[in-house]
Structure 1
Amino acid sequence: MIHPVKAGDNLSTLAKRYGTTVNALMEANPQIKNADLIYTGDTLKIPGAKDGFDAAPGRKGPNLTGGMENPSSVSGPDSSGEGTKGPKGSPFDIAKSHLGKNAGSLKKEGSGVGADMEDWVPNNVNCANFVSAVLEQAGQISNKQHDNSVMGLMRKLDADPNFKRVSLKDAKPGDVVSMKVGSGEHVVMFAGWKNGKPQFIGSNNVNPDGSQRISYSSMNYPIMAVHQYRG
């Protein structure tokens, strides 16, 4: 989220308004050198702000097929076939290679997925940051298409002719799965079927402190979109 600085704004009041901290605001906006000095007319990145769920985009057009699904109502075979691949490799294999890593630690790695993740994103909201970086490493999207919000990434994949929306029952490992979670969103990658139920891999809030770790999950949230690479 971007906030245009207005007269009377300061980091302390903005942190309280958006449910974050002054330190997090400064980390997200390295141009700020003095916590007590921000300028009217500047724009600030707001870390940790959740996207509001307005509803999935319209369904018109060849690239917007598929609607909201509930994973509990969909079943499939334990074998999901070969996953999608980009010019540089399989996003599922790339994501799987980072299983067990904390998002905060992964972002400090100087190469690969960690290098493509943006450091300023708080460690409890890295889901789109991680998925975007994996897609970049697989060569399925460009750096300009990287997005740290679920809805933003959805819009960019909808606009990319190399991606098509598919139904969950037709998903392949590595497909991007965007979900509605309460008043916000979460994005992961399809990881196959287990006992007839869909499995996912991504940056999930599984640590005791609420921060994220790359892990498998069998989530049961309503699905907004499944994007499959067809490039």
Structure 2
Amino acid sequence: MRPAPPALDSSAPESFAPSGSSGPAADLGAVWSRAVACRGTAPFLTFITGTGDSNTWSYRQFAQLVGLTAQRFRALGVAPGTAVHLNLASSPAFIMSWLACASLGAVTVASDPEAEVPALLRELSGTHPVLGIVGLRRRWTYRNAVSRSATPEFPVIEVSEDEPDTLAGSPLFTPGPVFGAVRRRDSAGRSGHPPRPDRLPGHRRGRRLPARVRTDPSTPGRCAEHRRRR
């Protein structure tokens, strides 16, 4: 049996109004809140899962997932003006995280999901995020970059980039362990870096996953196919 989705009812948070903040993040948060209020039951997002199932959320349903994600982010230190780094492919997790940051007035730093350690390191060291979100298939590359960055101990949430991120128990809105990168060397002088991804069993360099989300990121609810080169 498939895990049950989180309960979606009138008591679930739909969004957070950014307070004490201004700029693009606050503006997007306000646009999203108005869209949910005006188009509540209209379809917002359709996602084809890794097993081929099709899931569609209305504005109101997806807003409740965004609200739960925002609660989790806020508990981990995300606040107006702080940066959250996303190393995610096109997926519900990306959109949930992006809109949660906007609802909190935080800045989203979206990274190329195929970026290697040097590019990730430049982004992390230049933006000093308080939280990172990464897909499980990329976690070792990301951990390596985090451990070498200027802030090597910020929390990182690792997600599936698939349907489980929207279900009960999702790391995006369920309190639980998060990865916090270790320092480069411990007291005994041993390296604290995670292994290189190309040295892990089953690793395939250059593997790309197709984007499976249909939505126009500039206009909520306007569907369009987004496909990336393989």
Higher helix share: 2
The TM-score normalised by the length of structure 1 is 0.28
